[in-house]
Amino acid sequence: MTWFRSAIRNGFDRAERGLDRAFGPDWNPLAQLGPIGWFLFWIVAGTGIYLFIFFDTGVHAAYASVEWLTNDQWWHAGLTRSLHRYASDLMVLVMFTHLLREWAMDRYRGKRWFSWLTGVMLIWFVYLSGITGYWLVWDKLAQYVALTTTELLDTLGIFAEPIARNFLSPQALSSRFFTLMVFLHIAIPLLLLLLMWIHIQRITEARTKPPRGLGVIALGALIAGSLIVPATSQGPADLATVPQRVGIDWWLLSLYPVIESVPAGAIWAGVVAFTLLLAGLPWLPRRREGGAAQVFLDHCNGCSRCVADCPYAAITLVPRSDGLPFTHEVEVNAARCVACGICMGSCPSSTPFRRSGELITGIDLPDRPLAALRTEVIEAAAAMDGASGRILTLACAHGAAADPAPGRVVMPCVAMAPPSLVDYIISRGLADGVAVAGCAERDCYNRFGVAWTRARFERTRDPYLRARVPRERVQTIWAGPSETPRLARELADFSTRLAALPAYDKVRPLAEDEGTETGREAAQ
């Protein structure tokens, strides 16, 4: 399974590299699947409300009203119907692509199970919304869907009388059916919206809107498709006959041809098994994550920088509890913390320059504290040769530099390293330059690692990279797992540039007691 997931991940990564060139990292559609899904939902909801204005719930008037708005009012209502149809189909495609991508990128296990599980639940709400919508048209396709669905439901034995018989003769169907379908077609999307809101509750600054330009492109494509191939009905339903040949919407109704040829028991078993398999994936196998971040109140002033920077809403401000003269302290919800370390990189007390006693920060990772990270950096520098152009690479475990290499320190996220660590490496002469090799710019594994690192280096977000750090000795490389050749080229170019620079004249060598012993003691 691991090799298969890696193959899919690399496929996505390569496809996204091409889309980067076409749209740019910020507009890459594959990196905006979640926001695009929200955008499509609002298109479907808005067009559905508009269509309801013209819809008649009568048993004979339903089809006539849909035909009137499709043909007689095609320039507004007919176009709206097509937008409603195609946006629904595209939403299904986006949903499954998003699901596959999150699985391939390994963003579903561990503390991320909540978003995955609620996402799996969304699948069936989307399908139920689409199926009830098709019933309302009441053409031959709607008749086929109604008869097939009710026959499948009857096999459960939960109804006092078979409900499929309501669709076997014209006398058995009343207008109450369409009233019920309208109710369901409104209620289910409302529940879908609620679940979508729940889906993003454990995500900080969740993106629910795509970039405006990308939204305009998506809407324009839907309008163009609606004008070229407008959605139409397939003739009025006739309960006196059984529909023989109907056109299938393969995005929303792909299961229906299977229902006709497979026993009902096998269908229900397959649906349940598929759902349980998807729901259980976060624990098959269970991901081993590091311990949740720990707060050390003696070094915390409640500045809230870690609260703002946490991608998973795992850190909150609460009233001070230890009597120190600060109004607040931070509290970590261990059930949400993924141990990415971004909070450690945001803390103003996270500085490797400290030498008095143990290096303890306001918030730290128990499995990999700043003291241990400083020791790793010192040891990685000692392992490099003494030639000019030496680069110490602070690498992300999910990017192109994830594999161990001389002079490389791999972390859960590059934003785990505070900007002062870069200053420390250069000012102590541990390397001629520092390369920060993170995830692809379009889509950070920990959501904000790339963005926060860039902002800190550009001095627009605390903690800042000090102005004294020579920027010609700092290189950022944002590269996905399949971009190792580009990573190697950029590192080689950076090394060449460093070798051509004059020797850095502000180096302060490490003291004998600096870094190693204190770091190891703190890591034990």
Measure the CA–CA gap between 173 and 478, rounded to whole angstroms.
Answer: 61
Measure the CA–CA gap between 477 and 350, rounded to whole angstroms.
Answer: 23
Give pLDDT tens digits for 197-240: 999 999 999 999 999 999 999 999 999 999 999 999 999 998 88
Q: How far is CA 294 from the centre of its chain?
A: 26
Q: Copy the structure tokens of residue 160.
A: 């006092």
pLDDT at 516: 54
pLDDT at 170: 77
pLDDT at 57: 85
pLDDT at 521: 44
Question: Which residue type occupies 515?
Answer: G
Indicate if the pLDDT at residue 47 is higher than 60: yes
pLDDT at 518: 46
**What's phi and psi for 286, nearest 5 deg?**
-70, 135
Residues in CB range of 456: below 8 A, 6 or more apart: 345, 415, 419, 462, 463, 464, 465
What are the domain boundaries of the chain? 26-235+248-280, 294-523
- DSSP class of residue 428 equals T
Measure the CA–CA gap between 452 and 359, rounded to whole angstroms.
Answer: 24
pLDDT at 118: 97
Indicate if the pLDDT at residue 524 is higher than 60: no
pLDDT average, residue stretch 5-21: 91
Indicate if the pLDDT at residue 315 is higher than 80: yes
pLDDT at 443: 86
Indicate if the pLDDT at residue 16 is higher than 70: yes
Which SS3 state, helix, strand or coil, does residue 179 take?
Answer: helix
- Neighbouring C-beta atoms of residue 62, cutoff 10 Å: 25
Measure the CA–CA gap between 393 and 378, rounded to whole angstroms.
Answer: 12
pLDDT at 517: 44
- Neighbouring C-beta atoms of residue 282, cutoff 10 Å: 21
Measure the CA–CA gap between 146 and 138, rounded to whole angstroms.
Answer: 9
What's the pLDDT band for 357 if we cut at 50, 70, 90?
low
pLDDT at 513: 64
Give pLDDT tens digits for 143-174: 999 999 999 999 998 888 888 888 877 777 88
Give pLDDT tens digits for 428-446: 999 999 999 999 988 899 9
Indicate if the pLDDT at residue 515 is higher than 80: no
Measure the CA–CA gap between 162 and 256, rounded to whole angstroms.
Answer: 19
Q: Copy the structure tokens of residue 312.
A: 């998973």
Measure the CA–CA gap between 31 and 34, rounded to whole angstroms.
Answer: 8
Indicate if the pLDDT at residue 393 is higher than 60: yes
What's the pLDDT band for 523 if we cut at 50, 70, 90?
very low
For the chain, give the mean pLDDT. Answer: 92
CA distance between the termini of the chain = 35
Give pLDDT tens digits for 453-480: 999 999 999 999 999 999 999 999 999 9
- Most confidently predicted of 12-26, 169-183, 354-368, 403-417: 403-417
β-pair type (391-396, 408-411): parallel
pLDDT average, residue stretch 192-196: 97
Name residue 395's beta-bridge partners: 410, 437
Given this structure, which CATH class describes domain 26-235+248-280? mainly alpha
- State the pTM of this model: 0.92
Measure the CA–CA gap between 186 and 178, rounded to whole angstroms.
Answer: 12
Q: Copy the structure tokens of residue 128.
A: 């139920």
Q: Copy the structure tokens of residue 369.
A: 């504290």
State the number of CA atoms in the 13 A half-sphere of 279 facing the CB: 11
> To which H or E segment does residue 414 belong?
none
> To which H or E segment does residue 411 belong?
strand 408-411
